[in-house]
Amino acid sequence: MNRLGPEDYQSNRHIRKIMRLAQASKRDVFFDLGCGMGKLCVVAVKEFGVRKAVGIEMHRGRASKAARFVRDQGLSDRIEIWNEDYMESDLGEATILYCGHNETEEDVPHFEDVLGRGSRFVSLFLPFVGVVPDAVDYPFYVMKLPFKKTDDGSRWASAVLTKKAKVEELYRELDTDREYRYDKRLMGRLMKDRFGSV
């Protein structure tokens, strides 16, 4: 599986939204899965006072730039940059995680296995299929461990759209709103697997 995402960087305004939505505090250890330049980690430490931040980036060049950015900010004692695949990383220390990548089939069981109770996972554009988010401030969704799962497609669609909705309505919105980024075939497989017929 290629986990190298686009070279998108969240604006500081969006980074603050992520941190507020996840209720970041000085007790937290923040992990950015696919950290790009490391901006989320820097804002998490500087503005929200998280105890520690870890940026994980597969692309060697981006990881090197992120490490240099952290060093230039004088934050190397509180921010680590790891050049590796986050699915192979030790995430056990994380209390807040952010990932802007599309969901894959192994994400839900993997994160349930490696993350501790009470950890908050923040996703971009959609929560995990079949997982009801605990908090929403579009385009971000927070899902706390243990995940609140549902096999009711309409309940999940309603949570995604933040209004009473059916799966068909969610698909229409996904297909017509340019802001959503998702793999239609993968979404169909995940929804069929988790909701039965949709």
What pLDDT is recorded for position 2? 54
187 lies in some domain: no
Q: Does residue 67 contact residue 3 with C-beta atoms inside 8 Å?
A: no
Both tokens of residue 125? Answer: 């554009």
What pLDDT is recorded for position 3? 57
What pLDDT is recorded for position 196? 87
52 lies in some domain: yes
78 lies in some domain: yes
pLDDT tens digit at each of 198 positions of the chain: 555 555 556 888 999 999 999 999 999 999 999 999 999 999 999 999 999 999 999 999 999 999 999 999 999 999 999 999 999 999 999 999 999 988 999 999 999 999 999 999 999 999 999 999 999 999 999 999 999 999 999 999 999 999 999 999 998 988 888 777 778 888 889 999 999 866
Helix count (H) and strand count (E) of the chain?
Answer: 7, 7
Q: Does residue 145 contact residue 119 with C-beta atoms inside 8 Å?
A: yes
44 lies in some domain: yes
Q: Does residue 38 contact residue 62 with C-beta atoms inside 8 Å?
A: no
Domain of 80 in residue numbering reads as 12-149
Number of domain units in the chain: 1
160 lies in some domain: no
113 lies in some domain: yes
124 lies in some domain: yes
198 lies in some domain: no
71: CATH: 3.40.50.150
What pLDDT is recorded for position 56? 97
At residue 88, what is the residue type?
E
Do the bridges between strand 140-144 and strand 135-137 make them parallel or antiparallel, or are there none, so unpaired? antiparallel
Q: Does residue 24 contact residue 50 with C-beta atoms inside 8 Å?
A: yes
Order the strands of the 96-99 sheet from edge to edge: 79-82, 52-56, 29-33, 96-99, 120-124, 140-144, 135-137
What pLDDT is recorded for position 138? 92
What pLDDT is recorded for position 10? 81
What pLDDT is recorded for position 179? 78
Each residue's pLDDT tens digit, 14-29: 999 999 999 999 999 9
